[in-house]
Structure 1
Amino acid sequence: MTTAGTFGSRWPGEDDGTDFVQLLTPEGERREHPDYAFDLDDEAIKGFYRDMALNRRIDAEAIALQRQGELGLWASLLGQEAAQVGSGRATRPQDFIFPTYREHAVAWCRGVDPLALVSLFRGVDHGGWDPTATNFHLYTIVIGAQTLHATGYAMGVQRDGCVGTGDPDRDTAVMAYLGDGASAQGDVNEAFIWSSVFNAPVVFFLQNNQWAISAPSEKQSRIPLYRRASGFGFPGVRVDGNDVLACYAVTKAALQQARDGGGPTLIEAFTYRMGAHTTTDDPTRYRLPEELEHWRRLDPLARVETYLRRAGVADDDFFAGVEREANELAERLRTGTRAMPEPDLAHIFDLVYAEEQPELRAQLEAFQAYRASFLTQDAAGVEVTR
């Protein structure tokens, strides 16, 4: 059995020569960084805590629903809330996001209803949200493919004249999320090449959660992942992925650089997947309990709660209110999931082209005739499948 990424009581950067951006320590203490500053107030930090707490509850309820047979699958974000909320809240409305299949908290930050995420994993649709309404693309299951999509979209944004104009409501950045395992995929490296050569306004946000399913980080790269960016000709930075303040500050700077015409950036958010890769996975088969316990002490929510209490800006009433909201959200998720109607399979033909095509219409009619051949009527005249 192997284990990786524990680092004892140390963080990256303390003994390996890397620059590790951290603005809020695991003990809940604020820290300054010469290049990245958190420019929001304590009310914003309270909002970040709420975002993370609600998404942790969404995650827990979705796992429970899967175990009860209500979902076919779920990819947990447990432990990665700070990386997703910090980066998600750093975006502007005109920015466009290309996620993997685990960015539930980013979806939340972009205004996607959690029930829309659940409907995908329940199998009643192919993505229950409109990407153009939130500038948040549908989930991508193919590992790393979204980085090429993001790069192409960013090149389009560039050619539309939406980069480097100085207009904060027009200049646009694109962000692609990926994991440590995806960094070894050909698609990702091709995206790095194209984005660098064409100076595309794209930020690659890599959540290094230490495990590519059962393959540890040490089996994936001999150097810290953020340093790969230098080989492609653009900057890379490693941030404490369990520090929501640092994730916000670093992502905000990288996105602004992209909007200004400064090209791509690779951000490595050093975090940890506290749960299984998906609900089909058993992480006890490949990682040690000691490693999990080490990362529990670095919990992203706990450090924010500690800071808010020490700073005197949040009390028991605030945290109790967040818990009540989480309970209400969980109930809505359970009720809404079970109330989802069975899909009309013919609806898939409506999602292929924006306008009706003759060939597709013929295929739809053939499908409808085929489906009708399985139907008959019972004594009451109701159609049933025979």
Structure 2
Amino acid sequence: MSNSMTPWQRTAHGANLLDASGQPGVTIFEEITALANKHEAINLGQGFPDTEGPAEIRQIAVDAILSGANQYAPGSGILELRQAISDHQKRFYSLDIDPNNEVVVSTGATEAIASALLAFLEPGDEVVTFEPFYDSYAAMIGLTNAQHKVVQLKAPNFEPSVNELRQAITHNTRVILINNPHNPTGTVFSTSILNEVIALAHQHDCIIVADEVYEHLTFGTKHVPIASMPGGFERTITISSAGKSFSFTGWKVGWATGPQNLITAIRTVKQFLTYSSGPAFQPAVAKALNLPESFFTGFASSLVQGANILADGLENAGIPVIRPKGTYFLVADINGFKHNDAIEVARMMPQEVGVAAIPMSVFVHPQNASSYQGLLRFAFCKKPEVLRDAVGKLQQLPEVLNR
């Protein structure tokens, strides 16, 4: 990526937003959603739930609006929410977080990620992520004019090679950005991989940015924050949000926790981005974080049901599935079919099948796209009846793939 590019060009290039002529385009999500709407297809492309979060939590936000919580919140977030985040980290992970100095509330997890990268990266620094990666990572790295290096996660296990990880992280690496549980693959990294990341961060004096927005959405395995592991906390910024855990994706309430020096740097950048947001949503999220553990386990169990409905349906149709360990997503493998270019398939599915999905290759650097060209990502965070309807339509997908 040329350093002579303007910031928007670097961002667009990193996020696959340039068309063949190098002009700004639209994301694949916009394109597929538009096709789904045009053909009245079931949209299993974008990862948002079709059910509302708890009614009692929504009512808190309504009451807050009516009582006047409509002006700027404190830049770090209201104390009630920062205390709730601290209590949450203690309750689930035995982490002691100072709500006054080691927490900052953000406009969604994406702003926290952006603030962290803008705070700690200089032009020419290196950032290491796993690939595939959440699309905003490349865009934000491009905006800082840092260099984006990747360690590939290869099907079917999506577990990184330790040797490749060691080769990627060097004395030029400033940030290791890790998403666990991982979107878009649905994998959950082993503690041995997390320990390796910590060891390499110490060896090369790196900061770890841990995007853990799917922390409560794991299936048959427990989420282990990298900050809770030996040697992890002092180098780690942990990021999460209310969007995924409580089905309030539109509220855009996220947060970052970590050592005071790292959080202070994020807060300094954030004040020049949104400064603050969501004054009526913040007290509601504070209450949500204090919901009983049964809420969190129940939500994860409902997602397992959705994952199984979709996975069983695809497998019954003859399409191999890589079953997830967490998140909202599963991966279908169409490599064995005549038409196995997932981008082309995704573009024709809304009309030909009546279901929308996202090609995995859009979550990778263009030069690595061929490694993922036969993989499709489906979101299963939908009502069971919607997924069953989708499964019925997906039975005709193999016929379309073999034409």
**TM bin (shorter chain):** 0.3 to 0.5
Higher percent of residues as strand: 2
